[in-house]
């Protein structure tokens, strides 16, 4: 099947034959979306196990972890994690989670599956690029994970890979040689994959909308994916050359980021004149927008799902689009707030602090719009609705600490402490995860034609919701008490009294992680044994619910829908029930 | 028949219902895609330019050197290829492509010649003892020319793909040809920009 070469047959596609073309090297956006989600599932399991190892070590530093010495004979001889290996685990946990989970699942995964259907297209604009995008990302993941198996282990300079220690090679520690090279290579490959993906999202949204699908009628989730892909297009375009320069510094002897006269491990580094701060600027110019790449799809998912279960139109959809656009724009003006302690000019710190405080305004407006949407509603408390409410809760909890950190004077004290760990885990990681969970419970019936188990879903929600607060809320107090982050053990006198709290967090993390097994069981069991899903189980309006569950190969069976309604027509008298679907015929007009 | 400037003289009672579709001209995803690609490639080179400016002022080890003269010849070759491509495109219509094919082949040839010329420029620099790691200025020279060269190779692959399709598919996919042409012209503009900052900085 050659999509591109047969434009004449554009309105009737038969699925390709053969296992490889159908399930592996598929051009179908739905298969690619599921592949991204599966990749994210594998990645999140790896990332979570890494966080368990770290938490166990923090609570009981001398506890041997059985089997770990087999994975890393140097990093964990007898199963006890060395400080260097702790940093490797931290680096890999963060890199895997940020890139391969928080970017892959809500943006590339759900976006790939649902953006074309929600705009009424039968596939992405460039199916071949789409396939390349996934397989490039997959290769990036394999390259990253392979660094566990090289002799010195993975990189240990964090997901931010600060130069010059990330650029000078082995002298900076085990894992800074081959491990760090694999890290930079993996992220460079990942950037290429995401650029292909973003390009596809933008062209599809702009050019492949079905008849009647004006921009104003696009669902919020489509808007969010579209805005996210614009952010990604600019952000990954900066990280890619930055990674190339880092690779050249490591392997080709250039001095982009390595200053002159640098002595590391008693060895004068043969480099001259580079600027370590340059790496931080390039990285955070990508890094801060990346935070919004992770969270904006969650905005879209929540804004799409909440009205379905509130049976009310979303409050202020245009204002919400405005908020997301404002956040996207402002996200490029705040990167310096990660660098208040970097030795940057204090005047520029002020310059970055002000837009950081301003960016809380659209974020606050969005939150108020969601709360306004559920105000006075007879909410249907299904699992996806619960996860949307959880999203709002953790987003607010994490966002509030952002007000403190945005101010250079306070950040100076808190920056290197667990306060920041609590902040970004709530506002970016947990919030985005709740968005992913909400999306999974909501769209699973459409993707697999079967319903997930609601009882298990509710257990999963409550255990996770309570669990994440038990893990991350205490970290605020640790941070205020001056508990430094990135340490592998707390042996200083002033830190010793905090160890019981660390043990509590570790136990909470193990329990919350175990609660995810409920989700995994529900996911796998429902895929094969769940009750058959109707076309529109949630009584939603957007186009994906107008087609069968799961949708046919070309999404609408050769009959592209004609859109006559916005996505928010809930609580109105429709042909059936209290809603009007986007593809419902336009009301008859009297002449 | 009155022109569009005056309001339509239609009684309101028979005005057609508001159309559901509000779309402009026929969308061309391939061209949109190339515009998006142009945006992202521009962003990458903007990032590299800012890196160069920062790096040049970070330390006193910036070494000025004379650009290999062959670069100017390469520039002419690349500009000429844009003209041959534009001429070829004018001769190609959806039903008749034969007149434009020689122009496309010449464009491909000139593109390859440009890439070869860039490699010769590297060899001239290397003969002067200027390698990637010799100084920050030579490092940026190699990075800029290599990344631009890769994008030119991508453009050549795109042209080859379009060439294959317009020879086989009737009616010829004019949008794909337009998109490839757009990208190729962008390679010109990008190279002129890079040459300019290399002249100023290196």
How many structural domains does chain B have? 1
> How many other C-beta atoms lie within 10 A of the C-beta of residue A480?
14
Q: Do A254 and B14 touch (CB under 8 A)?
A: no
Within a domain: B158: yes
pLDDT of residue A588: 65
Within a domain: A554: no
- In chain A, what is the straight-line distance between the N-terminal and C-terminal CA atoms, in Å? 47
CATH for A323: 1.20.210.10
Within a domain: A564: no
Shortest CA distance to B39 belongs to which of A238, A252, A176? A238
Q: Which of B14, B59, B133 sits opposite A252 (nearest CB)?
A: B133
Average pLDDT, chain B: 87
Q: What is the DSSP letter of A157?
A: S
Q: Do A203 and B33 touch (CB under 8 A)?
A: yes
A270 touches chain B (CB under 8 A): no
Q: CA B43 to CA A233: how far, in whole Å?
A: 9
Sign of CA dihedral A339, A340, A343, A348: positive
pLDDT of residue A131: 96
CATH for B96: 1.20.120.80
Q: CA A423 to CA A134: how far, in whole Å?
A: 31
- In angstroms, the separation between the Cα of residue A189 and the nearest Cα of chain B is 15
Instruction: ipTM value, please give it.
Output: 0.91
Chain A partners within 8 Å of B13 (Cβ): 591
**Residue A159: exposed, middle, or buried by beta-carbon count in 10 A (0-12, 13-18, 19+)?**
buried
Q: Which of residues 223-242 of A touch B (CB under 8 A)?
A: 233-234, 236-238, 240-242
Within a domain: A329: yes
Find all residues with CB under 8 Å of A274, minimum gap 6, and list them. Answer: A163, A164, A167, A249, A255, A256, A257, A258, A259, A260, B55, B58, B59, B136
For residues A144, A148, A153, A155, the Cα torsion angle rounded to the nearest 10 degrees is 30
Q: CA B69 to CA B128: how far, in whole Å?
A: 13
Within a domain: A352: yes
Chain A partners within 8 Å of B20 (Cβ): 211-212, 562-564, 586
Q: What angle do CA A312, A315, A321 make, to 5 degrees?
A: 130
pLDDT of residue A13: 59
Q: Among all residues of chain B, which has the CA nearest to that of A198?
A: B36
- In chain B, what is the straight-line distance between the N-terminal and C-terminal CA atoms, in Å? 63
> At A267, which helix (H) or strand (E)?
strand A267-268
Within a domain: B95: yes
- In angstroms, the separation between the Cα of residue A252 and the nearest Cα of chain B is 7
> How many other C-beta atoms lie within 10 A of the C-beta of residue B14?
7
pLDDT of residue A589: 59
Within a domain: B103: yes
Q: CA A519 to CA A44: how far, in whole Å?
A: 13
Domain residues for B104? 69-202
B84-90 contacts: CB < 8 A, separation 24 or more?
Answer: B84/B110, B85/B159, B85/B181, B85/B184, B85/B185, B86/B181, B86/B185, B89/B177, B89/B178, B89/B181
Which of B10, B47, B168, B176 to mutate to test binding with chain A, by most A CBs within 10 Å of its CB? B47
- Please identify which residue in the block is written with the tokens 């790496």: A279
pLDDT of residue A218: 97
Contact A250, A165 (CB under 8 A): no
Q: Report the greatest alpha carbon distance in chain A.
A: 88
Chain A partners within 8 Å of B133 (Cβ): 252-255
How many structural domains does chain A have? 1
Task: Report DSSP letters for A562-589, one per residue.
Answer: ---S-TT-BSS--SBTTB--TTSPPPP-
- In angstroms, the separation between the Cα of residue A46 and the nearest Cα of chain B is 32
Write down the pTM of the prediction: 0.93
Task: Report DSSP letters for B16-45, one per residue.
Answer: PPPPS----SPP-HHHHHHHHHHHHHHHHH
Q: Report the greatest alpha carbon distance in chain B.
A: 83
Chain A partners within 8 Å of B61 (Cβ): 255, 260, 272-273
- In angstroms, the separation between the Cα of residue A287 and the nearest Cα of chain B is 14
Task: Report DSSP letters for A338-366, one per residue.
Answer: G-TTTT--HHHHHHHHHHHHHHHHHHHHH
| Predicted confidence band of residue B3 (pLDDT cuts 50, 70, 90) | very low
Chain B partners within 8 Å of A5 (Cβ): 165, 168-169
Within a domain: B11: no
pLDDT, tens digit, 9 for 90 and up, residues B150-184: 999 999 999 999 999 988 887 888 889 999 999 99
Domain residues for A286? 31-260+269-546
Q: CA B92 to CA B90: how far, in whole Å?
A: 6
- In tens digits, what is the pLDDT along chain A, a chain of 591 residues? 334 433 333 444 567 888 888 888 999 999 999 999 999 999 999 999 999 999 999 999 999 999 899 889 889 988 999 999 999 999 999 999 999 999 999 999 999 999 999 999 999 999 999 999 999 999 999 999 999 999 889 999 999 999 999 999 999 999 999 999 999 999 999 999 999 999 999 999 999 999 999 999 999 999 999 999 999 999 999 999 999 999 999 999 999 999 999 999 999 998 888 999 999 999 999 999 999 999 999 999 999 999 999 999 999 999 999 999 999 999 999 999 999 998 888 888 999 999 999 999 999 999 999 999 999 999 999 999 999 999 999 999 999 999 999 999 999 999 999 999 999 999 999 999 999 999 999 999 999 999 999 999 999 999 999 999 999 999 999 999 999 999 999 988 889 999 999 999 999 999 999 999 999 999 999 999 999 999 999 999 999 999 999 999 999 988 899 999 999 999 887 667 889 999 998 876 555
pLDDT, tens digit, 9 for 90 and up, residues B121-142: 999 999 999 999 999 999 999 9
pLDDT of residue B184: 97
What SS3 state is found at A490?
A: coil
């Amino acid at each position: 099947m050659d999509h591109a070469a047969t434009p004449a047959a554009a309105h009737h596609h038969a699925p390709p034959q053969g296992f490889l073309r159908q399930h592996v090297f598929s051009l179908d956006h739905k298969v690619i979306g599921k592949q991204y989600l599966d990749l994210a599932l594998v990645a999140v399991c790896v990332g979570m196990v890494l966080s368990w190892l770290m938490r166990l070590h923090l609570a009981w530093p001398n506890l041997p972890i059985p089997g770990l010495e087999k994975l890393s004979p140097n990093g964990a001889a007898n199963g006890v994690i060395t400080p260097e290996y702790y940093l490797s685990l931290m680096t890999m946990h963060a890199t895997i989670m940020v890139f391969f989970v928080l970017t892959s699942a809500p943006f590339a995964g759900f976006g790939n599956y649902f953006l074309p259907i929600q705009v009424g297209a039968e596939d992405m604009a460039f199916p071949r690029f789409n396939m390349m995008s996934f397989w490039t990302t997959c290769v990036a993941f394999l390259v990253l994970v392979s660094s566990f198996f090289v002799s010195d282990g993975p990189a240990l300079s964090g997901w931010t890979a600060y130069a010059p220690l990330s650029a000078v090679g082995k002298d900076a520690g085990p894992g800074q040689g081959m491990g760090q090279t694999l890290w930079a290579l993996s992220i460079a490959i990942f950037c290429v994959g995401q650029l292909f993906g973003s390009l596809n999202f933008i062209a599809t949204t702009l050019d492949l909308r079905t008849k009647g699908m004006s921009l104003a009628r696009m669902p919020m989730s489509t808007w969010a994916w579209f805005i996210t892909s614009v952010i990604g297009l600019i952000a990954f375009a900066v990280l890619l050359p930055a990674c190339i320069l880092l690779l050249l510094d490591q392997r080709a002897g250039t001095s982009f980021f390595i200053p002159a006269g640098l002595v590391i491990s008693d060895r004068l580094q043969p480099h001259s004149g580079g600027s370590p701060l340059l790496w931080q600027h390039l990285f955070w110019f990508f890094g801060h927008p990346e935070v919004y790449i992770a969270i904006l799809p969650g905005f879209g998912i929540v804004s799409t799902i909440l009205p379905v279960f509130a049976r009310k139109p979303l409050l202020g959809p245009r204002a919400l689009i405005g908020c997301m656009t404002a956040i996207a724009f402002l996200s490029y003006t705040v990167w310096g707030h990660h660098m208040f302690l970097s030795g940057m000019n204090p005047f520029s710190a002020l310059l970055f602090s002000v837009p950081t405080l301003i960016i809380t305004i659209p974020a606050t407006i969005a939150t108020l719009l969601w709360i306004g949407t559920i105000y006075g509603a007879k909410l249907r408390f299904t699992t996806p609705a619960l996860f949307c409410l959880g999203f709002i809760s953790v987003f607010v909890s994490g966002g509030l600490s952002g007000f403190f950190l945005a101010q250079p004077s306070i950040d100076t004290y808190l920056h290197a402490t667990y306060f920041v760990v609590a902040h970004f885990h709530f506002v970016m990681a947990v919030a985005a995860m709740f968005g992913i969970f909400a999306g999974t419970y909501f769209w699973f019936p459409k993707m697999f034609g079967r319903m997930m188990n609601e009882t298990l879903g509710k257990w999963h929600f409550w255990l996770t919701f309570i669990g994440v607060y038990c893990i991350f809320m205490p970290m605020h107090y640790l941070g205020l008490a001056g508990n430094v982050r990135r340490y592998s053990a707390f042996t200083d006198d002033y830190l010793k009294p905090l160890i019981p709290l660390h043990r509590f967090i570790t136990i909470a993390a193990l329990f919350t992680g175990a609660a995810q097994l409920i989700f995994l069981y529900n996911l796998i069991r429902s895929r094969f044994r769940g009750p058959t899903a109707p076309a529109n189980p949630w009584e939603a309006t957007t186009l994906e619910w107008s087609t069968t569950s799961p949708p046919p190969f070309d999404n609408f069976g050769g009959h592209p829908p004609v859109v006559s309604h916005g996505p928010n027509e809930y609580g109105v008298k429709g042909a059936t029930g209290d809603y009007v679907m986007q593809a419902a015929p336009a009301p008859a007009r009297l002449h | 028949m009155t022109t569009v400037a005056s309001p339509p003289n239609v009684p309101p009672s028979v005005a057609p219902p508001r159309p559901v579709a509000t779309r402009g001209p026929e969308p061309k995803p391939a061209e949109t895609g190339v515009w998006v690609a142009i945006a992202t490639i521009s962003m990458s080179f903007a990032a590299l330019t800012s890196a160069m400016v920062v790096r040049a002022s970070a330390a006193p080890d910036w070494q000025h050197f004379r650009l290999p003269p062959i670069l100017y010849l390469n520039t002419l070759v690349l500009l000429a290829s844009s003209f041959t491509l534009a001429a070829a495109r004018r001769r190609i219509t959806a039903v008749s492509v034969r007149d434009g094919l020689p122009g496309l082949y010449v464009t491909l040839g000139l593109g390859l010649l440009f890439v070869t010329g860039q490699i010769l420029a590297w060899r001239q620099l290397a003969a002067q003892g200027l390698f990637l790691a010799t100084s920050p200025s030579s490092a940026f020279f190699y990075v800029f020319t290599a990344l631009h060269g890769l994008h030119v190779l991508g453009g050549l692959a795109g042209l080859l793909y379009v060439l294959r399709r317009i020879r086989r598919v009737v009616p010829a996919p004019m949008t794909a040809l337009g998109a490839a042409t757009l990208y190729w012209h962008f390679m010109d503009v990008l190279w002129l920009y890079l040459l300019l900052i290399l002249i100023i900085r290196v």
